[in-house]
């Protein structure tokens, strides 16, 4: 009998990649629980929405009664918790939503899962998993050029976003230690790829360039991030949820450390090749690069040591940064309907 995966935040960027992977590459049932905030986009699931193994429930993870109803209705074997407010700039401008969703929401989900798990039969109980998906930003930043985040790196979050994600990680581990709830945590590096909401660096730069707008780069652009192709991440997450050890943490990275300015210049070069017909008045895409005031508390460098998940679970990324970025740019060029619906807000009608 196929497993039932309950995916919170399944209409988001990473969540929708997980849902598509589960439907397309496994035989499991998938229950997508999403509040459909601004970043939740059901158009990202158009390719799987008619599959009889896919189910959608619009719900807020802070709504304990509704979430409990969903658990009772679908009887999940695995919870993959991705629902979160995730944009650092938004967390600086309005931290309260981040505390509510990332901390209170995770607590609520843990409590519903604990009550549900406690009443399962012994065999269902032993196979149940609560997989919490987090970020490398909980570790703060790295100032050296060679050191890497490992699963035992102390937490030192810098932004309201990363502080609320760190809080939720601690809650998940406490529910294992105190109540025995079988939990697993993963921390990932920066994701990129198709279906990425346009406020994030790579899609923002692609769409701004295509419309002849400035490409705003924070500070000197030398902040370093480790980039992970979202479909590689989705494969890693399902591997952890099904094969990972209870109580373990797995760091997931792309082995692709790049300065932000390097990413933007690479995008410009790809667009020169793939979209040579530029907006009026633009001779080269790179001339649109504009340096802007750095954001408060901007971390300098993130880099993940992903050797544990490769060693223990056999996962490693299939895409290089170059191959993944090319696929990403081509996807945005081929799927204008998807991102134009976001820019004109009509994607909210696709419900």
Residue 142 DSSP symbol? -
CA dihedral sign, ordered 224, 226, 231, 237: negative
CA distances from 288 to 216, 217, 284 (A): 8, 10, 8
Containing 292, the helix (H) or strand (E) segment is: strand 289-292
Give the DSSP per-residue string, 217-228: EETTS--EEEEE
What are the phi and psi torsion angles at 193 (to 5°)?
145, -170
Angle at 5 between CA 162 and CA 310, to 5 degrees: 60
- Backbone Cα Rg of the chain: 20
HEC assignment per residue over 18-39:
HHHHHHHHCCCEEEEEECCCCC
Catalytic residue numbers, as ranges: 136-137, 161
User: Beta strands of 173-230 (E only): which ranges?
Assistant: 183-188, 190-192, 215-218, 224-229
CA dihedral sign, ordered 287, 289, 290, 291: negative
Whole-angstrom distance, CA of residue 5 vs CA of residue 13: 17
């Amino acid at each position: 009998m196929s497993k039932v995966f309950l995916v919170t935040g399944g209409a988001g960027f990473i969540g929708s990649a997980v849902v598509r992977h589960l439907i397309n590459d496994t035989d499991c049932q998938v229950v997508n629980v999403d509040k459909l905030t601004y970043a939740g986009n059901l158009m990202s699931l158009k390719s799987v929405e008619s599959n009889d193994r896919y189910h959608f429930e619009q719900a807020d993870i802070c709504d304990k009664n509704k979430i409990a109803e969903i658990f009772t209705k679908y009887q999940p074997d695995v919870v993959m918790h991705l629902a979160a407010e995730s944009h650092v700039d938004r967390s600086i401008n309005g931290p309260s939503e981040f505390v509510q969703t990332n901390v209170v929401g995770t607590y609520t989900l843990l409590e519903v899962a604990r009550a549900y798990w406690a009443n399962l039969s012994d065999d269902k109980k032993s196979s149940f998993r609560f997989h919490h998906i987090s970020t490398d930003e909980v570790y703060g930043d790295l100032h050296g050029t060679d050191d890497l985040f490992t699963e035992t790196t102390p937490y030192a979050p810098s932004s309201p976003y990363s502080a609320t994600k760190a809080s939720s990680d601690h809650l998940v581990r406490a529910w294992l230690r105190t109540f025995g709830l079988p939990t697993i945590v993963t921390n990932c590096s920066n994701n990129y790829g198709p279906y990425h909401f346009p406020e994030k660096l790579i899609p923002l730069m692609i769409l701004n360039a295509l419309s002849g707008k400035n490409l705003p780069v924070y500070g000197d652009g030398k902040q370093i991030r480790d980039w992970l192709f979202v479909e590689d991440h989705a494969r890693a997450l399902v591997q952890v949820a099904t094969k990972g050890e209870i109580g373990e943490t797995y760091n997931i990275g792309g082995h692709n450390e790049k300065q932000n300015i390097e990413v933007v210049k690479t995008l410009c070069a790809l667009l020169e090749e793939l979209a040579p017909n530029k907006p009026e008045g633009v001779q080269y895409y790179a001339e649109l690069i504009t340096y802007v005031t750095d954001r408060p508390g901007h971390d300098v460098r993130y880099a993940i040591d992903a050797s544990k998940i490769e060693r223990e679970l056999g996962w490693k990324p299939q895409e290089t940064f170059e191959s993944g970025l090319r696929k990403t740019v081509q996807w945005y060029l081929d799927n204008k309907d998807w991102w134009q619906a976001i820019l004109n807000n009509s994607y909210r009608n696709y419900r």
